[in-house]
Structure 1
Amino acid sequence: MTSGRQVFAVLGQQQGSGVLLTPHLILTSAHVVGGRDTAEVAAAGGGGPAALRVIRSDDELDFALLHSEDPLGPAPGLGALATDRPVPGCEILGFPRVQRYEGRKLDLDQYTGTVLPMAGLVRRTLTVELDHPPAEPGDDAPSPLAGLSGAPVYADGGLIGIVRAVPRGRGHGRLECVPLTAVLGHPDVRRLLPRDFTPPAPVVRTHPEDRPYEAEYAEALGAAYRRTKIFGLDELDRRASEWDLDTAYLSLEAAAKGRGGDTASVPQRIDDLLASRPRVLIRGDAGAGKTTLVWWLAAHAAAGTLGPNLAELNGLVPFVVPLRTLRARGEGFPGLAGLPGVAGLVVDPAPDGWAGRVLAAGRGLLLVDGLDEVPQEEREAAHAWLSGLLARYPRTRCVATVRPLAVDPDWLGAERFEELTLLPMRDADIQAFVAAWHEAARLDDVDPAGLDVLERDLALQFRHNPVLADLARTPLLCAVICALHRLREGFLPETRWALYQSALQLLLGDRDKRRRIDAPDGIRMSVEEHQQLLQRIAAWLVRGGQTEFTRQQALHQLTRALPGMPRVAAQGTPAEILTHLLNRSGLLQERADDVFQFAHRTFQDFLAAKEFVEDDLVSELLRHVREHQWHDVLLLAAGHCSRRELPVLVEGVLAAGSAVRDRGRKTTLYVLAARCAQHAAWLAEPLHARVRKAVKSVLPPRNATQLTELASLGPYVLPLLPHPQKVAEDAVHQVVSLICEVGGSEAVPYAREFAGTAATTVALTTDWARFPTEVYAREVLARLDLSQHLLTVTEPGQLPLLRTLPHARHFAFRGDFTAGALAEALDGLTVHTVVISDNDVLDDLGFLHVCGAELRRVRVSRPPTGCLGALAGLDALEELELVLPQLDAGDLRAVAELPGLGLLSLGRPRPCDEGLDLTPLHQASRTLQVRVTGLPERRITGRAALGSRLTVEK
C-alpha cells in the first residue's frame, strides 16, 4: 500500500523526490543528485535532513540509489505493468517546488492519473496522464511540477516507477517516468539488493471500484468470521449464543512434516509455523480447530490485525473456500469470478475481474477448508483445481485443511505445500481453554461465583484424572466437557461415546426444559424422536460424502422418514418439522441461505453411526472400512452396537487389515479394530486376544504416521510393546517415542525399562512434559546418563527437580521462563550447556553467571538487543550460538571480549536487508571462528579481516 512515510525530499544538485526501495535504499533520479557522492534527504513527516551516500547512479536510465546505514521505514510493495491497456487510478507522491508553506518549507503533494503503457514505448519510458492539470507555476519555477523528479508512481498500491521529466507541449499534464522493471533489471542494482528481496507483482489493470469494494469485502468477512459459537453456551439467551472469535480461539501446537511423513521439527504454536510457510496443508482430527483457524485467519488478515509473527498477511485479501458448501450446492470448484462469492458473504457482487487482479498482484490469501469432504473419486479434480489456480497465480498464499489420513503424504508437495499436523492439546492448553470457556460464560451468568467454583473443580479434575484429560484433547471435546460439567454440577461421563450421547441429550432434550419452554412452535418431540429424524439426514450425508445440505434435500429425507413416526407426522408438515429441528435442536445451523449443516461433523458421524447400527447395516459400514472418511463413523458405531453386533464389526475390521499388504494401511485398520474393541462393555476374550495380537504385529511403528496412530490407543498399547532386550537396535528409538507419545503415569514403568539403553536417552530427556513431573524425574531421568545429553525443560514445575538430577550438565529451556526463575533453578548446579528458545519474557542473560566457571556452551533464540553485555566475566565460555538475533555493535564488542570463546554462530540474522557489520569482532582472539547462516556475503561488512575464520552458509 502507498504511504507518505516511504517518500522523501532529496536535496542534491537540485531539489527532487525519492522513495524507499528497501528499508536501506532510496530510489531517486540521477539528475537530482548530479555528480555528487552524497545527497541530503528529508522525510515526509519532518525527519532529517540526513546525508546519504550515493552508491549507484545511471545517467542513461536516469536513476540513482542512496544508502542509509539505519533503516528508514517499511519498503513499499512493488509492481510491474503486465498489460497494454490504460491503468487508471494511479498515484504520484512527491515534493514539487510549488507545494510550499510559509513560502519556503517543503510539503508533500499528491496527484492521480492514468498510466498509458503504449505511450513512450519506443523510448522505454513510462507515461502518466494526470487526471487534473497542476497548479499554475510560481514566479521562480519553470514548471509547477519542478521538484517532482524521482517521485514514486503507484498502481494498485505497488511502486511501478519514478518520475523523470515533464514533456513539453502537454500543458504540464503528462509525466515521463522510469519503469521500476528497468531499474531492477540493471546488473549493478541486482547485486545491491538483499537475497530475500521480493520481486514486483504484475499489475494487470486497476479498476476504480476495486478499493472501495475491498473495504466492503473486508467488513463482510469480519461480520461472517469474527463471531463463533462456543459449545455449551448457546443454552443461554439468543444474544449470548455467539462470542467474539478471539475469546474462543486458542493457538494450538502443530508439528511440521517433512517429505515421507517424518517429523521435521519440534512442536510449535501454529501461528509461528504459518509465518514462514507461504503454502500449508494442515491436517487435524475432527474438532481439532481447523475451521476455527481458517475463520480466525480470514477475519484478522482482512482487518490487518494479525500479530507480529503473521504481520505479512495483514492486508491480504482472503478467499475462503468451504468445500462442504460446494458439495451441498452441487457446484464444481470455483473459478476466478466465483471465488469472492463461494463463502456466501453478505456483500455485493465483486467488480468484473477483481479476484484475478488481486491474485495477479500477489495479494490473495486462499483458505481452502475441508479437502477431506470432497469424495474420494473427486479428489484428483480438487487437486487439479487447486494446483492449476496456484500455477496461474504463483504468488498466492494458501492454507488448506484436511483430516489426517484423507489424502496421501505429500499430496500437494509438487505445489510446494508444507504439511503441518495439529497436535492434541497439552494439559496447559486444556487449562487455558477451561479458563477461556468459563470467562465467556461469566459474561451473562447470574451466578459468577458459582462458575468460579465449577471452574476450579474442573481444572482440578483435569489435573488429577488423566482419563478425563485424554478425552479433552481437542477444542470441541473440551468445550463439551465444560458444558456438561456445568450443567451436571460436576458429574461427567467417562468415555468418548458417552460424552457425545450426553451432549446430544443436553442439546435435544434438556435445554428447553431448563428454560421452561414448552412447544413454542406447536411441536413436541422426545430426544429419541429428534435423533431418529436427524440420524436419517446424517446417514444420507455420510453416504454422499458431504456435510452440508439444502432445505429441499432435508425435506426429501424427512418425507421418507415421517410415515414411520405417526405421532410426529401428525403435528406438522415436513417443512414445519424441519423448522422445529432448526430452531429447537441446537444441533443444526444455517451456513448460508438455505444451506445447513450439523453444529459439528462429529455429531453428524455419531448420529449416522446410530442409524447404520439400528438399521442392521453393519455390513454396509464394513464395505467402507478402507475409506478413511468412514473411520470415525465405524468407531462411533462400536458404541451403538449391541453385544451381538460388536463382534461382527470388530472381526470385519480385523479381516480388512489382514487382507492388505501395505504395513501403513494394516496399522490403520488394526488400530481401528482395537479402538472399536475398547468400546465394548463385554467382548469375548478370544476376540480381544486376536485384536491384541494384530496390534502387536505392527509394532514397533516405522514412521511418524504409524506412531501417531498407535499412540491413539493410549495405555492399551503399552503392554503389547516388546521387552527392551527383544527390540532390534534400529527400532529402539521408535518404541521409546511411542511410549513418550502415550505418556502419562501408566507409561512411566515402560519408560523406566528402556532408561538403561543409551540410544533412547534423547527421546526420554525431550518428553518430560508428557509424564507426571516428579515421578518421571525420580523413576526415569535419575536412571539416565545425563552428562552428555540435553535435558529439555518446558514447565515451571520441572525447575525445582533439577537439583535431584546431579549428573545433568546440559539444559534446554523452552518456553517463557524469567531470568529469576532460571537463576534460582541453576544456582549451585554444574552446568556446561544452556539453550534458551521460545522465550518471550527473557530480557537479560545475567542469570548465566550462577553457572560459574563450568559454563561452556550457550545457545539463545531471539536474544534482545543489548543483552550480550551480560556475558562479560563468563571466561570459560567456548561456544555461543545466537538464532534470529537483532545485534548492535555493543553486542558484538561484548562477544569479542570473551577470552575463551572459540566459536560464534549467528543463525539467520534479521532483518536480512539491514546487513551485518562484523567489524567489532576484529579485536577478538585470533582463534575465534565465526559462522553466519542465512545472510549473503555481500550483506556482511568487516568480513575481509576475519579471513578464513569466517564461514558463511545459506
Structure 2
Amino acid sequence: MSPGRQVFAVLGRQQGSGVLLTPHLILTCAHVVGGDEYADVAAVTGRGPLALRVIRCDDRLDFALLHSEEPLGPAPRPGALATDRPVPGCEILGFPKVQRYGGLKLDLDQYTGTALPMAGLVRKALTVELDHPPAEAPDDGPSPLAGLSGAPVYADGGLIGIVRAVPRGRGHRRLECVPLTAVLDHPDVRRLLPRDFAVPAPVVRTHPEDRPYETEYAEALGAAYRRTKIFGLDELDRRASEWDLDTAYLSLEAAAGDRGDTAPVPQRIDDLLASRPRVLIRGDAGAGKTTLVWWLAAHAATGTLGPNLAELNGLVPFVVPLRTLRARGAGFPNLADLPGVAGLVVDPAPDGWAGRVLAAGRALLLVDGLDEVPQEERDAAHAWLSGLLARYPRTRCVVTVRPLAVDPDWLGAERFEELSLLPMRDADIQAFVAAWHDAARLDDADPAGIDVLERDLSLQFRHNPVLADLARTPLLCAVICALHRLREGFLPESRWALYQSALQLLLGDRDKRRRIDAPDGIRMTVEEHQQLLQRIAAWLVRGGQTEFTRHQALHQVSRVLPGMPRVAGQGTPAEILTHLLNRSGLLQERTDDVFQFTHRTFQDFLAAKEFVEDDLVSELLQHVRDQQWHDVLLLAAGHCSRRELPALVEGVLAAGSSVRDRGRKTTLYVLAARCAQHAAWLSESLHARVRKAVKSVLPPRDASQLAQLAVLGPYVLPLLPAPEKTAEEAVTAVVSLICEVGGSEAIPYARGFAGSDRTVALAQSWARFPTEVYAREVLAHTDLANQVLNVTEPGQLPLLRTLPHARHLAFRGDFDAPELTTVLSGLSVNTVVIAENDVVTDPGFLRACGKELQQVQINHCPRVRIGALSGLDTLEDLILLAPRLGAGDLAAVAELPSLTRLILAVPELPDEGLDLTPLHQAPRQLEVLVTGVPERRITGRAALGSRLTVSR
C-alpha cells in the first residue's frame, strides 16, 4: 500500500497531520487536538472529513489517538531505531500549511532526512535533520512546516515516530519527533492495541544505498525462487510447467524433540519454525527440503509469510546452496560473498551491506544441502557456520541435510534445534494429487479427462496401501501422478520401477506424445540417453557433488561418444550436450552455466546403473559407510543381476558386522535388508542372514535407530519378539517401532501388546492405523485410564464413545468449538489437552466435561482467550504452553476455586513483562511454575513466596 494512503490531515484546535497506527487508530500530536473530545480527519484520497473520537491524549509525550469504527486501511509496519549512528534515507509525509494549493485546499508534501539518534538522547526524543531546507518564511512568521505536527517519520519502510515540533534557530531543517517506541510503551496504548500488533522491527541503516538495494535484492529473490518445476508437467508450455510456489508449496509435517510438551507430536513445519530461531532440518531425498528453503526465501524477502511466520517477514534471506559452491569449486562464503552465492540476477551489494544486515539481526541464513559437503570437509563447514553465528548471534538460520549425514546434535552447541521432515500422510497425498491435477488442467484440451484421472488416482491411493507408501515424498507423488496420467491408470509397484518408468517417460515418450521429431537433428533412444547421462551422474557421485558446469559435462560426454558411433555421427560433443540439456527433461540450468539433474534421486539412479553395468559393485561397497552413497547402493540393487545382487547384499552385511557402534550397525543392516527387498530372487540362506542381522539390532535403543528400522515397514514386524518374550525394559521400544510402521499389517502386533502397562505409544499413534479397526482391535483392549489418547482426525471423534475408559484426551489440530462440545458432552474425562489449534478462541466447550475435569492443557493455541476459562469449578491443574496473556487473563485464572497448580511455559509477554499480581487473590494452595521467562521480567513475585518456582 502507498504510504500516502496511511497519512491523514487532522483538523483539531489547529491543523496537523496523523498516521494509521492500526486500521482503526490514527496517531497524531496532543497539541493538534488540544484536549477536544473529537477531531476531524481527511485523507489524501479526498475521503472525509470524518469526525473521530479522541480516545487517548498524553500532553507530556505529546501524542493522541483517534478511533474510527470502520477500518481506514492497512497500517504501516512499526519500526524502532536500534543504533546510535545517523540513519539516512528517512521519509516524512504530512500536510504543512504552506503546501495548500489555491491557498485553501490541503495537499500532501514529502521530505527526506537523516535520523540522529544521539541528538535527542537526553530528552528521549527522536531528531531528524532534513536533507534540504523547506520553503522560506518570514523571520517573525510561522514555520513553513506548520501543520506537519503528527506527520509520520519512516525509516526502512517502517514507522519510527511522528513530528512534534520544529525548533527555531536551525533554519527549519531540524524536526523534533515522538519516537513510536515511547508511544507503544504507554500502558494505556498497550491495552488498546490488538494482540497480534507487530513488534517494532529494528532499524540500523547507515548506508544511503541499502534501502534501494534491498528492494532490488528482494525482487531478485522472488524471480529466482517464486516458481518451481513440477515433475511430469514439463510437456506443457513453460508458463504452465513452472508453478508458483504459493500454489505448489505443501506444508509438510515434521517431528521435533521434546520442548516441555507432555506428548510431542508431528506438526506442520511452518508452525515448528515459528518459535525456533535456529533449525537443522533432516529429510530424505525428495522430501521437500530445497522447496522449503526457496519458499522461505521468496516470501520472507517480500513480507508475505502468514501469521505463524510473521516474525520472518522483512528479514533479508541469504541462500547458501552448498551444491552450487561445490560445483564452482568455491569455499564457504565470507560476509561480502553472501549476497552473491545464490547467483541472483542483481547488481553487487553496497560495500558492507551484508555485515550491516547481520549486525542488525535482520538476516535469515538458509543453508541448503549440508550433505553435499564431503565428509572430510564437514568440520570446516561447521567451523564456518558456527563462526558466522557467533559473530552475529541474532541471525536466524535454517540448515537442511539428509537424515544421517551428520551426527545427532551436530549443531547443538550453536543452539540449533533439530526437525525431521516426515513422510506425507494420506491426507497430504490427496492434497498433492488435487494440486498436481489442478496444474495439469492449465494447458490440457480435455479437462474432463483430467477429472477422471484425478478421481481414479485418489481412489487407488485410498484402497492400495502399497501405492500410498510409494508416494510419501512430494517427488515420488509427482512421479506417480505423471505416470498415472501417461499410462491412463496403470502404475508400477516398486520404487525402482517408478524411477525406471519415469526415465522412460522423460527420455522416450515425451517427445513422441507431443509429435516432436528431432527438433535439433539428433535422434537418440532411451538407452542412448541413459548411457550419456549415467556417465555424468557417476562422475558427480564420485566427486560428491550435484552441480556441474557446461565445460565439465562436455568433458564427460567427449569421453563417452567414441563408444557410441551412431550418436557421435549426429553432431559434435557440444551439440550432443545441448540436446541432452534441451530434450532429456532430466537436466536443468540452475544458474548461469551451472547445471544439475532435475532431482538428486535421478542422478543417483543413473549413477547406480553405471556402476553396475561397469562391473563396479566393489567400488560401491568401498563407500558403504558413507551415508551420501547409500541411495546409490540401494538403487544399484534394482539394477543388479541375479549374480551381482548377492555380492552387494553380502558386502553391506559384512560392513555392518565389522562396526561396533550399534547405530552404524543398524544403518548398514537396514540398508542390506532394503537391498534384499529389491531381489526378484535371492537364496533363502542369504535372506535368512539378512533377517538375522536385522533381528540382532532389535529392539531399537534410541530414536535414530527406531526411525531407521521403521523404514523397513512391515518387513520388520515378524522379526520383533513376541509379547511374552519381550523384556520389560524393551516393551516401550518394541511398541514404538510397531506404531512407527503403522498400517493394517501392524494391527495384530499392536494388539499383542495392548495389555501391557508400557504402551504409551499405542494411545499416541491412532492416526498411523486404519481408524475404526484400530479403535476396535487395539484401543478397546488398551488400559487408557492413565494414558493420554491422541485425537488428531475428525473420523476419530465419534469413536470416542466406544472407548469409555479413555479418561485423558488430547485434541491436536484445528478442531472447532462445536465439534469439541459435541464429543465431550457426556464423557467422563479427567484431562483435556488442546494443542496446535489455530481456530478455537473460546474454551467454553470444556464446561461440557462436567465435574470430572481436573486437568487442562492448552498448548500452542494462539487464539484461545485464557480469561474465558471461568466456570471450571473442579479444575485442579492448568498448564499453558506458549499462551498469549491479555489483560485480565490471570485474574480470571485466580478465580478458579479448585485450582492448585498453574504452569506458564514460555508465555508470549507484553513489553512490561509478566505481572503475577492478579494471582495474589488465588487460593492459598495455588502453586505456580513459570518457565522460559527471566526473573527480572516477572513482577509480583514476592507475595507468592515459596509457592512460585521460576525455571529457565
- Superposition TM-score tier, normalisation by shorter sequence: 0.7 to 0.9
Amino acid at match of 2:54: P
Stretch of structure 1 that moved more, 407-416 or 90-99: 90-99
Q: Deviations over 1:667-705 (max 9, x none)?
A: 111111111111111111121111111111111212111
Amino acid at match of 1:49: V
TM-score (normalised: structure 1): 0.86
CA 1:355–1:869: 2 relative to 1, 3 Å = closer
**Which residue in 1 is equivalent to 2:343?**
344
CA 1:726–1:65: 2 relative to 1, 3 Å = farther
CA 1:337–1:915: 2 relative to 1, 3 Å = closer
Contact residue 785 and residue 808 of structure 2 kept, 8 A: yes
Paired with 1:648 and 1:419, the residues of 2 have a C-alpha distance of: 37
Stretch of structure 1 that moved more, 233-242 or 674-683: 233-242
Compute the displacement of 1:832 (Å): 2.0
Paired with 2:862 and 2:115, the residues of 1 have a C-alpha distance of: 47
Stretch of structure 1 that moved more, 833-842 or 265-274: 833-842
Written as runs of structure 1 = structure 2, the 5 A alignment for 1:387-402 is 387-402=386-401
Compute the displacement of 1:443 (Å): 2.2
Q: Does 1:856 align with 2:838?
A: no
CA 1:97–1:555: 2 relative to 1, 3 Å = same
Amino acid at match of 1:205: T
Written as runs of structure 1 = structure 2, the 5 A alignment for 1:450-529 is 450-529=449-528
Amino acid at match of 1:388: G
Give 3-state SS (helix, strand or coil) of 1:400's partner. strand
The partner residue of 2:81 within 79, 82, 107 is 79
Amino acid at match of 1:256: A
CA 1:546–1:888: 2 relative to 1, 3 Å = closer
**Which residue in 1 is equivalent to 2:783?**
785
Amino acid at match of 1:623: Q
CA 1:181–1:451: 2 relative to 1, 3 Å = closer
Compute the displacement of 1:172 (Å): 3.3
The partner residue of 1:807 within 776, 780, 805 is 805
Contact residue 327 and residue 548 of structure 2 kept, 8 A: yes
Contact residue 362 and residue 395 of structure 1 kept, 8 A: yes
Paired with 1:13 and 1:927, the residues of 2 have a C-alpha distance of: 56
Contact residue 364 and residue 397 of structure 1 kept, 8 A: yes
The partner residue of 2:837 within 819, 836, 839 is 839
Paired with 2:730 and 2:2, the residues of 1 have a C-alpha distance of: 58
Compute the displacement of 1:473 (Å): 0.9
Compute the displacement of 1:783 (Å): 1.5
Compute the displacement of 1:602 (Å): 0.1
Stretch of structure 1 that moved more, 816-825 or 744-753: 816-825
Contact residue 743 and residue 771 of structure 1 kept, 8 A: yes
Compute the displacement of 1:913 (Å): 2.6
Paired with 1:43 and 1:765, the residues of 2 have a C-alpha distance of: 60
**Which residue in 2 is equivalent to 1:250?**
250
Compute the displacement of 1:287 (Å): 0.1
Stretch of structure 1 that moved more, 617-626 or 587-596: 587-596
Q: Deviations over 1:762-791 (max 9, x none)?
A: 111000111121221122111211122211
CA 1:237–1:168: 2 relative to 1, 3 Å = closer
**Which residue in 2 is equivalent to 1:774?**
772
Written as runs of structure 1 = structure 2, the 5 A alignment for 1:585-664 is 585-664=584-663
Paired with 2:19 and 2:129, the residues of 1 have a C-alpha distance of: 20
Q: Does 1:912 align with 2:910?
A: yes
**Which residue in 2 is equivalent to 1:572?**
571
Q: Deviations over 1:357-399 (max 9, x none)?
A: 3333322222111111122222222223323333333322221
Paired with 1:585 and 1:73, the residues of 2 have a C-alpha distance of: 50
Amino acid at match of 1:702: R
Contact residue 10 and residue 41 of structure 2 kept, 8 A: no
CA 1:534–1:3: 2 relative to 1, 3 Å = same
Contact residue 63 and residue 183 of structure 2 kept, 8 A: no
Q: Deviations over 1:411-457 (max 9, x none)?
A: 22232222211111112111111111112212222222222222222
Give the number of aligned pairs. Answer: 931
Amino acid at match of 1:461: Q
Contact residue 812 and residue 837 of structure 2 kept, 8 A: yes
Q: Deviations over 1:36-81 (max 9, x none)?
A: 9999999999966344679xx9xxxxx89999999x9888433344
Q: Deviations over 1:877-925 (max 9, x none)?
A: 3334444444556766765665444445454443533766777777765
Q: Deviations over 1:553-584 (max 9, x none)?
A: 11111111011111111111111111211221
Written as runs of structure 1 = structure 2, the 5 A alignment for 1:745-756 is 745-756=744-755
**Which residue in 2 is equivalent to 1:190?**
none
Paired with 1:718 and 1:800, the residues of 2 have a C-alpha distance of: 30
CA 1:269–1:41: 2 relative to 1, 3 Å = farther
Contact residue 609 and residue 637 of structure 1 kept, 8 A: yes
Written as runs of structure 1 = structure 2, the 5 A alignment for 1:349-364 is 349-364=348-363
Bigger RCO of structures 1 and 2 (CA < 8 A, at least 6 apart): 1
Give 3-state SS (helix, strand or coil) of 1:247's partner. helix
Compute the displacement of 1:847 (Å): 3.8
Give 3-state SS (helix, strand or coil) of 2:515's partner. coil
Contact residue 739 and residue 761 of structure 2 kept, 8 A: yes
Stretch of structure 1 that moved more, 618-627 or 218-227: 218-227
Contact residue 865 and residue 891 of structure 1 kept, 8 A: no
**Which residue in 2 is equivalent to 1:187?**
none
Paired with 1:274 and 1:340, the residues of 2 have a C-alpha distance of: 23
Compute the displacement of 1:271 (Å): 0.3
The partner residue of 1:798 within 781, 796, 799 is 796
**Which residue in 2 is equivalent to 1:718?**
717
**Which residue in 1 is equivalent to 2:191?**
none
Contact residue 668 and residue 709 of structure 1 kept, 8 A: yes
CA 1:948–1:586: 2 relative to 1, 3 Å = same
Contact residue 10 and residue 39 of structure 1 kept, 8 A: no
Give 3-state SS (helix, strand or coil) of 1:352's partner. coil
Paired with 2:332 and 2:543, the residues of 1 have a C-alpha distance of: 17
**Which residue in 2 is equivalent to 1:732?**
731
Give 3-state SS (helix, strand or coil) of 2:657's partner. helix
**Which residue in 2 is equivalent to 1:432?**
431
Give 3-state SS (helix, strand or coil) of 1:391's partner. helix
**Which residue in 2 is equivalent to 1:212?**
212
**Which residue in 2 is equivalent to 1:275?**
274
Amino acid at match of 2:378: R
Give 3-state SS (helix, strand or coil) of 2:335's partner. coil
Compute the displacement of 1:642 (Å): 0.6
Paired with 1:218 and 1:491, the residues of 2 have a C-alpha distance of: 44
Compute the displacement of 1:815 (Å): 1.6
Structure 1 residue runs of 5 or longer lacking an equivalent are 58-62, 185-193
Q: Deviations over 1:915-951 (max 9, x none)?
A: 6677777776565555555556787788888777666
**Which residue in 1 is equivalent to 2:298?**
299
The percent identity for this pair of structures is 81
Q: Deviations over 1:813-839 (max 9, x none)?
A: 112223333344334332222222222
Paired with 2:126 and 2:849, the residues of 1 have a C-alpha distance of: 64
Paired with 2:10 and 2:874, the residues of 1 have a C-alpha distance of: 51
**Which residue in 1 is equivalent to 2:874?**
876
Written as runs of structure 1 = structure 2, the 5 A alignment for 1:102-117 is 111-114=111-114
Amino acid at match of 2:232: G
Give 3-state SS (helix, strand or coil) of 1:758's partner. coil
Paired with 2:668 and 2:716, the residues of 1 have a C-alpha distance of: 15
Amino acid at match of 2:662: R
**Which residue in 2 is equivalent to 1:188?**
none
TM-score (normalised: structure 2): 0.86
Amino acid at match of 1:250: L
Paired with 2:894 and 2:665, the residues of 1 have a C-alpha distance of: 58
Paired with 1:382 and 1:267, the residues of 2 have a C-alpha distance of: 29
**Which residue in 2 is equivalent to 1:384?**
383
Paired with 2:816 and 2:182, the residues of 1 have a C-alpha distance of: 52
Q: Deviations over 1:64-118 (max 9, x none)?
A: 9999999x988843334466xx754244678989889999999997642346799
Paired with 1:169 and 1:53, the residues of 2 have a C-alpha distance of: 27
Stretch of structure 1 that moved more, 886-895 or 345-354: 886-895
